Structure 1
């Protein structure tokens, strides 16, 4: 079987309020105001596909939020999203590989975050056979083509594949292709799902 794991809130806990909290402090803009203004618009999607630079994304998001931050300040907040790895998921990924299953990560991410989490959480790369990143592939979940490319490169059919993600749209995108999906709504979902399979 091919097991595809998302990264954020699947393998590594993330919290966007931490990002806004740092920007609120640095930019002296109330957190509640930033939370109200924040939305994932097209620039987010372009950044995750690698279509715009980190600097351009920072400028566009700063404009959307009414924040006057240096790029360094923006980056300091942007990296605050990472809370910590879920060790039980890392352990299960390693167990799957020891059993001879294929384990990969498929993440909607961006260049800035990829300069941070691989060194902060080296165990993620060590627990995966391969890591697929949206900004390197030029596409993002829930686009059908990103799932299809992973299947094609890995040599598995949808019915031989299990996909774990916390985002309902991403889950639905994979389901439409016939991939077996598991919606990760909290940290107990993956251990519970795999308990009977390992």
Structure 2
């Protein structure tokens, strides 16, 4: 049995809340984007990706289903997408957003080993609820919050307040990790400690800084 490469990490009195996409998972590879374009038959690349991004908030906020999301992209880009083709596109896009970043998983495992309470707060559609909860890394988390299920989105103050209320903690007891600065700023406005994720090494350094005892005076 191999031990976790990152030493146990304990943050007494704190709950660490993680975003998922591009924090616990990697940024989707360019090859994924190429496969989506080819399968969709999109010729105006810029217009396709503009549609892809523009409607993601509605998908993640629970107001647009996965099928309607792809149908909206098809309508805006003059594409003819059958339900079969939509499922094929989804089957390429979906796993690309859960491809793990091993270094971050190591840090999460270290926090878990150290007894630090953990939660996920992800802007994600309903379809991500199961893997975020029941994947191997999901087993390390005490709570998982998926924005579509909450009909809310980061960086709205309301979504952080809901998480704080459900965790039963004050803002000062929450540490939030996200790759988007605007989401961290939204949390910090409520008094939550935040860290903009750029790398697993930077994340570990930040968390160990929080765990270090204050210098004596």
TM-score relative to the length of structure 1:
0.85
Q: How many residue pairs align between the two structures?
A: 193
* Residues in 1 aligned to 2:208 and 2:25: alpha-carbon distance in whole angstroms: 20
* Residues in 1 aligned to 2:127 and 2:67: alpha-carbon distance in whole angstroms: 10
The CA deviation at 1:37 is 4.0
What residue number does 1:34 align with?
A: 45
Deviations 1:53-83 (A, max 9, x none): 2211111122234433332233133225236
User: Quick check: 187-196 or 167-176, which moved more?
Assistant: 187-196
Change (3 A) 1:164 1:74: same
What residue number does 2:37 align with?
A: 24
Unaligned ranges ≥5, structure 2: 1-13, 213-217
2:109 matches 1:94? yes
What residue number does 1:56 align with?
A: 68
What residue number does 2:10 align with?
A: none
Match of 1:4 among 17, 34, 53: 17
| Counterpart contact for 2:172–2:192, Cα < 8 Å | yes
What residue number does 1:147 align with?
A: 160
What residue number does 1:79 align with?
A: 94
User: Quick check: 77-86 or 127-136, which moved more?
Assistant: 77-86
What residue number does 2:26 align with?
A: 13
Q: Which has the higher strand share?
A: 1
Change (3 A) 1:129 1:187: same
* Residues in 1 aligned to 2:132 and 2:120: alpha-carbon distance in whole angstroms: 12
> Greater Rg, structure 1 or structure 2?
2
SS in 1 for 2:26: strand
2:130 matches 1:110? no
What residue number does 1:156 align with?
A: 169
| Counterpart contact for 1:19–1:80, Cα < 8 Å | no
* Residues in 2 aligned to 1:100 and 1:172: alpha-carbon distance in whole angstroms: 27
What residue number does 1:183 align with?
A: 196
| Counterpart contact for 2:40–2:89, Cα < 8 Å | no
TM-score relative to the length of structure 2:
0.78
SS in 1 for 2:72: helix
